[in-house]
Amino acid sequence: MAFSSMRAFAEKLEAEKELIRITEPVATELEITALADREMKSPNGGRALLIEKPLLPNGSISSFPVLINAFGSRRRMALALEVTDVDEITDQIAFLLKAKPPRSLADAWTLLREGFDLIHTRPSRVTTGPCKEVVHRLDDGWDKFSLADVPVLKCWPRDGGPFVTLPTVYTQDPDSGDRNIGMYRMQIFDGRTTGMHWQLHKVAARHGKRYYETGQRMPVAVCLGGDPVMPFCAMAPMPDGLDEILLAGFLRKKSVPLVKCETIDLEVPAHSDFVIEGYIDPTEPLRPEGPFGDHTGFYTPVDGYPAFHVTCITHRRDAIYPATIVGKPPMEDLYMGQASARLFLPVFKMNFPEIVDMALPAEGVFHNLVFVSIRKQYPYQAYKIMHGLWGMGQMMFTKIIVVVDAHVNVHDTSDVLFHLCANIDPQRDSLLTKGPCDSLDHAPSVANIGSHIGFDATSKLAGEGYPREWPEECALPATLLEEMEKRFPRGR
C-alpha cells in the first residue's frame, strides 16, 4: 500500500522504531540542524526526527511539525519505497529491461504481475484532494498566511536565509508539454518570494531557458510531502523527457492522483502535504541566491538565480513539513543518492554488460567519486567504461572514476583503495579529460567546467603493454576458511 501522506510515513517510521518525537520547542534556525546532524552522523544514520513544535524566528510555534532524516538510512530509504531492501527495485528494473516472451508458466505469471504494476505508472486525475484542505490564495491578502508560517530551516550559520530543502519542483517544457519534477532548493526571500536554484545542467533550467527566450511567464508548482516516493523521484537523475510521475507510479505500485493547481495550469499529486504555486517572470533580472551550506560540506557562494513568486499555498489540515540538511557527509542525502544509483544500475549494465557493480562512496558526495567493477575481457576496457559513464546523464559530473576487477567489492572503500594503490602505475593507468562539472564544485577555476580523472585499477593484460606476468592475489581457499570457522568458531 502506497503512503497517503508524510504523516502516514512518519507513523510507519515510528512503528518501526525509526523515529524520535521531539516534543519540546526547537528553533528552525540552526537548532534543528544541530539535532539532525547528530542523528545523521550516528551509526546507520540514526533515526528520523519529528519536531512537533518548531520555533519560528518570530518566537511563535509553527502549526506544522518538521520531519527530518526520514530517508537517512538504507532501511528508512527501503521503508519509503516500501520494499525490504532497495536492491529489490534494482531487480524489478533489471527484469523489466530484460523483458522477453515467457518460456514457462512461472515466467508468464511474473510478467503478468509486472504488467499490473506497470498499469499503475499512469497517473489518475482527480478533481480535488487532501492537498487542498486549506487554500491560501495570496492575492486574498497575504498577511493572513505566507511562507513565514512554514517552518523552513536556516540550516547553517552563514546561510543567506532559510531554505526549503526537500521541494519537488514541477515545470513543463513549453514546446513539448513534457513535465519535469526536480529537487531544487528554494531560499526564502520574503513571505511570498523565493529563489529557484535549478542549476545550469538541470531539466527545469532548460525549460526555464525557453521561457526566457519567449518572455512568457513560467508556471512553477512546488510540492512538499505526500508519498515519500515523490521526493525520491524528484532527485533521481531521470533522463530529460521521461516523466518522474511514471517512475513514482511504478515504485508505489499505485497511480499518482493528479489534481489541477488553483492559480496556474499545472497538475500536482493530490496527496501532497503542501503545494506552493507560482511563477517565474523572465523579464525580471536574476536575484542573488546563497550562500548555502551545501552537499559539498562547504558554503556555495552567492550566484544569480530566478525568483519564484508565490500565488497560492494549499495544504493538508494536518500537514507535516519535510526537510533535510546537507553538509559534510554522511548526511541524509547519501542514502537517497545511493538508492538512486541502485535504481540506475540495470540501465548502466544494459549499456555496458561488463559492469558488475557500482558504488558512490559517502566521501565523494554523489558525483565526486565513483567505483565500478567490471568483468574485463579485452585491453583498455576500463577506459571504455570511463568514457561511457562520463557520457551518461548526470554521471558527466563524476570527478574521479576508479575501475576495478569483478571480484573487488565496490561497497568496501578499503578494498577498492587497496586495489587502486596496488594495481596502478599512476602515469600509465590514469586518464585526464575535460567536461562539464557540477555547479556546486568549488575546486575548478571556472564554474561549471573542469577536469575528470579515471584510474584503471584492473589487472593488466599483455595487450595493454604489460610484458610481465600479473601476480596472483594471496587468498586462502574458501573451503579451508569454512572448515576452520567450524572448528574454531569466533568469539568462543
Ligand X SMILES: Cc1cc2nc3c(=O)[nH]c(=O)nc-3n(C[C@H](O)[C@H](O)[C@H](O)COP(=O)(O)O)c2cc1C
Question: HSE-up of 360 (CA within 13 Å, CB side)?
Answer: 26
* Crossing angle for the helix pair 105-119 and 87-97, to the nearest 10 degrees: 110
Of 307 and 336, CB closest to ligand X: 336
**Amino acid making up residue 333:** D
Q: Which of 83, 87, 130, 149 is nearest to 318 (CA)?
A: 130
Task: Decide if residue 430 touches ligand X (CB under 6 A).
Answer: no
Task: Decide if residue 80 touches ligand X (CB under 6 A).
Answer: no
CB 370: neighbour CB atoms within 10 A? 25
Residue from 64, 198, 211, 455 touching ligand X (CB under 6 A): that is: 198
CB 44: neighbour CB atoms within 10 A? 12
Record the cell numbers describing residue 285, joined without a space: 533580472
Q: How far apart are CA 457 and CA 407, in angstroms?
A: 12
Of 333 and 429, CB closest to ligand X: 333
> What part of residues 381-420 is at the interface with ligand X (CB under 6 A)?
394
Record the cell numbers describing residue 349, joined without a space: 549494465
H or E stretch covering 210: helix 203-214
Residue from 3, 142, 184, 371 touching ligand X (CB under 6 A): that is: 184
Tell me the closest approach of the beta carbon of residue 199 to ligand X, in angstroms: 3
Residue from 39, 267, 333, 354 touching ligand X (CB under 6 A): that is: 333
Tell me the closest approach of the beta carbon of residue 396 to ligand X, in angstroms: 11
Site string (214-243) toward ligand X, x via CB under 6 A: ---------------------xxx------
Tell me the closest approach of the beta carbon of residue 184 to ligand X, in angstroms: 4
Longest C-alpha distance within the chain, in Å?
A: 79
Buried b (16+ CB within 10 A) or exposed e, 175-187: eeeebbbbbbbbb
Segment contacting ligand X by CB under 6 A, of 178-186, 259-267, 447-455, 460-468: 178-186
Task: Decide if residue 165 touches ligand X (CB under 6 A).
Answer: yes
Tell me the closest approach of the beta carbon of residue 298 to ligand X, in angstroms: 15
Record the cell numbers describing residue 281, joined without a space: 517572470
Of 353 and 444, CB closest to ligand X: 444
Number of residues lying near ligand X (CB under 6 A): 20
> What part of residues 120-159 is at the interface with ligand X (CB under 6 A)?
none
Task: Decide if residue 180 touches ligand X (CB under 6 A).
Answer: yes
Of 182 and 346, CB closest to ligand X: 182
Residue from 204, 261, 264, 369 touching ligand X (CB under 6 A): that is: 204
Q: Which residues contact 326 (CB under 8 A, 6 or more apart)?
A: 155, 165, 293, 294, 295, 332, 333
Segment contacting ligand X by CB under 6 A, of 152-160, 198-206, 268-276, 461-469: 198-206
Of 182 and 454, CB closest to ligand X: 182
Task: Decide if residue 448 touches ligand X (CB under 6 A).
Answer: no
Residue 165: burial class (beta carbons within 10 Å; 0-12, 13-18, 19+): buried
397 with 418: CB under 8 angstroms? no
Name residue 264's beta-bridge partners: none
Residue from 56, 70, 155, 203 touching ligand X (CB under 6 A): that is: 203
Which of 37, 294, 333, 357 is an active site residue? 294
> What part of residues 286-325 is at the interface with ligand X (CB under 6 A)?
324
Of 236 and 372, CB closest to ligand X: 236
Of 182 and 361, CB closest to ligand X: 182
Residue 126: burial class (beta carbons within 10 Å; 0-12, 13-18, 19+): middle
* Crossing angle for the helix pair 332-351 and 87-97, to the nearest 10 degrees: 20
- 415: annotated active-site residue: no
Query: Could you tell me where the DSSP H helices lie in 1-73?
Result: 6-15, 31-40
Tell me the closest approach of the beta carbon of residue 424 to ligand X, in angstroms: 30
Q: Which residues contact 91 (CB under 8 A, 6 or more apart)?
A: none
Task: Measure Cα distances from 116 to 41, 250, 251 in Å.
Answer: 40, 10, 12
Site string (342-381) toward ligand X, x via CB under 6 A: ----------------------------------------
Tell me the closest approach of the beta carbon of residue 301 to ligand X, in angstroms: 14
Instruction: Write out the residues near ligand X by the rule CB under 6 A.
Output: 165, 180, 182-185, 197-199, 202-204, 235-237, 324, 326, 333, 336, 394
Looking at the annotation, which residues are catalytic?
Answer: 294
